[in-house]
Amino acid sequence: MHGEVVTLAVGIGNAWDKAVRFRVELSKIVAATDENRQVRPEDAVAVRRLVETALRTGSTQRDALADVDIHDIIDCRQGENEIIYLTIDTAALEPGNWTFSLQIKPTVERAWAKTVPVELQIMPVELPRDGKPYSLNFHYYNYMSVSGYGQSDAYRHAVLLDQKRNGSNVHLICPSGLSLETDESGNLIGAPDFREMDRLIGVFGVKDQIYMVVPAPDTLNGYGYGKVSGEIVERNFLQVLTQIREYLAAQGIDESNYGWYITDEPDMARAKNILPLARLIAKHAPKQKIFCTFYDGIPLQVLDMMNPYVNLWSPSFGAIPEQMKTIREGGRKPQELLFYAVSNRTYSPYASYRLMLWRALQRGGIGAGYWSYDDVGYGANASMWDDFDNDRSDYSVIYEGSRGPQASVRQLAWFRGIQDWRILELAQKSPAAQETAAEAMKEVLSKTYETNLADSYIEKIRERLK
């Protein structure tokens, strides 16, 4: 479909009696009906190499996808293979048929060069690139754990662009902008700091984006909580809320697209601690989102306590029926659900990343999330490339690169799931494809071990949407 991002994996085996050193080049992309209509490959195709790394389990894994430039040299040892990923963004091309080639060029043994032709048929049907599903990967844009604390502005910008390419549209904002203080009379000192949000809006814009601040548990202390009367605390909160609203209005952001990540997987003590802030938000900013995650170990009493205030629940995919019944029957209305999973590098890209979007769609969510974009454990030298530098396998879906994050198979699988959601929604609205979409949801989610099944059904749906 036009606007769809598709990935092609090309295997290169070395059957010769020695290692082969080669470069990878792409030809121009040419329209099948008019050779004068050409697109530069760098405008539409990303070239990456699938890299094998050791796991702490004793096995190895091919998950990392390192960018390949035209000057990069790849060594393929005798009897082994290399896999090149081509990720093609069809938004750079018009509907119709296009051709280009992947050229394998040995640096010495020129007679061994190979050319792999690629044909693209782009349908005159547009795939939406915004709106649902809402996708969250629990990142902090001003802290990249993959390389410690000191990221350059250029690297941080590369992170934002990577998130945008991969469909992230729920953004977490660090609480520094809300960490205020009061004078001896209880009057606020200072004002909210919106610079971080300005930076995000500069990349992601405001259309179909959700921006959520992550308040510290003691946020209200900065408004005089525990030192002055409740009336003064409420007055101070309203003062900050007014400034937030003025900022949102100036940016063209509806209040329903701004929220508060009120707490994460709360126990009873944490829930009680955050309730005063939750009450103020629900009372004075009813359109703004109050977001809270929970998993199957969170007591029902805690959910009952949070229910009057939370309007965007984030249940784990493993949440039990009693929990879901509690939030649905006793929760604040209107209510939205954004499901999440906790998956590390040893999990299946297909079942634990791509199909999580299918499950969220099936369960009536507005989207899904996963932990996490950049969690590689603790320590300034922690690295996604090294699975042995902490006491567990890493959760991150990106690997460190010199100029920006490098992709992974799991990251591409999640984005494929985002596109699947949008294709399935188009199919559900099309009389010609509704039945196929319903069958796909049933069969794919009941046979998660058949890793080619989703692709098979998506191709059938494409045919019916022509």
Ranges of CATH 3.20.20 domains, the chain:
134-416
d(CA 171, CA 164): 11
What's the rounded Cα separation, in Å, for the pair 242 and 228?
21
Q: Can you give the pLDDT at residue 398?
A: 93
Condensed to tens digits (0 to 9), the pLDDT of residues 159-176 reads 999 999 999 999 998 766
AA letter at 275: L
Contacts of 278 (CB under 8 A, 6+ apart): 262, 290, 306, 309, 310
What pTM value is reported for the model? 0.94
CB contact at 8 A, 88 and 99: no
What gap in Å lies between CA 157 and CA 162, rounded to an integer?
Answer: 9
Cα–Cα dist 392/375, whole Å: 11
Rounded Cα distance, 65 and 57, in Å = 21
Return mean pLDDT, the chain: 92
Residue in the structure block whose two tokens are 């984030």: 314
Domain with CATH 2.60.40.10 in the chain: 5-122
User: Tell me, what's the pLDDT at 446?
Assistant: 97
Give the pLDDT confidence score for residue 140 in this predicted structure: 61
Least confident of 21-35, 54-68, 100-114, 127-141: 127-141
Query: What pLDDT does 142 receive?
Result: 47
User: Are 320 and 298 within 8 A, CB to CB?
Assistant: no
72-131 pLDDT, tens per residue? Answer: 999 999 999 999 999 999 999 999 999 999 999 999 999 999 999 999 999 999 999 999
pLDDT(147) > 50: no
What would the mean pLDDT of 386-414 be, rounded to a whole number?
92
Measured from the Cβ of residue 464, the count of other Cβ atoms closer than 10 Å reads 15
* Alpha carbon 235 to its chain's center: 37
Sheet holding 45-54, edge to edge: 5-13, 81-89, 45-54, 60-67, 407-408
List, for residues 186-243, the tens digit of each pLDDT value: 888 878 889 889 999 999 999 999 999 988 776 777 677 777 788 888 888 899 999 9
Q: Give the model's pLDDT for residue 222.
A: 67
CB 106 within 8 A of CB 21: yes
Q: Which fold has domain 134-416?
A: TIM Barrel (3.20.20)
Cα gap 164→169, rounded to integer Å? 8
pLDDT tens profile 241-294: 999 999 999 999 999 999 999 999 999 999 999 999 999 999 999 999 999 999
DSSP 415-448: HHHHHHHHHHHHHHT-TTTHHHHHHHHHHHHH-T
**In sequence order, what are the residues at sequence separation of 6 or more whose Cβ sits closer than 8 angstroms to the Cβ of residue 242?**
none
What would the 3-class secondary structure string for 343-401 be?
A: CCCCCCHHHHHHHHHHHHHHCCCCEEEEECCCCCCCCCCCCCCCCCCCCCCCCCCCECC
Banded model confidence at residue 318, pLDDT cuts 50, 70, 90: very high
**What span, in angstroms and rounded, lies between the C-alpha atoms of 270 and 220?**
14
Instruction: Identify the band that residue 141 occupies on the pLDDT scale cut at 50, 70 and 90.
Output: low
Would you place residue 145 in the very low, low, confident or very high pLDDT band (cuts 50, 70, 90)? very low
Indicate if the pLDDT at residue 148 is higher than 50. no
Task: Identify the residue whose tokens are 């000057």.
Answer: 71
Q: Which two tokens stand for residue 67?
A: 């960018």
Cα–Cα nearest to 159, from 347, 439, 407: 407
Residue 355: which of 408, 420, 411 has the closest Cα? 420
pLDDT of residue 40: 97
Domain 5-122: give its CATH superfamily.
Answer: Immunoglobulins (2.60.40.10)
Q: Is the peptide bond before 372 cis (omega within 30 degrees of 0)?
A: yes
Residue 371 pLDDT > 50: yes
Kindly report the backbone phi and psi dihedral angles of residue 387, in degrees, each rounded to the nearest multiple of 5, phi listed first.
Answer: -80, 0
Map tokens 């697109």 to a residue.
39
Nearest Cα neighbor of 353 from 319, 329, 317, 383 is: 317
H/E stretch holding 412: helix 409-428
In 167-208, the DSSP E strands lie at 170-173, 181-182, 188-189
Of the candidates 4, 7, 2, the residue with the CA atom closest to the CA atom of residue 413 = 7
Closest CA to 398 of 381, 417, 418, 373: 373
b or e along 121-133 (b: 16 or more beta carbons within 10 Å of the residue's beta carbon)?
Answer: ebbebebeeeebb
Q: Is 445 a residue whose pLDDT tops 60? A: yes
Q: Classify the C-alpha dihedral 143-149-153-156 as positive or negative.
A: negative
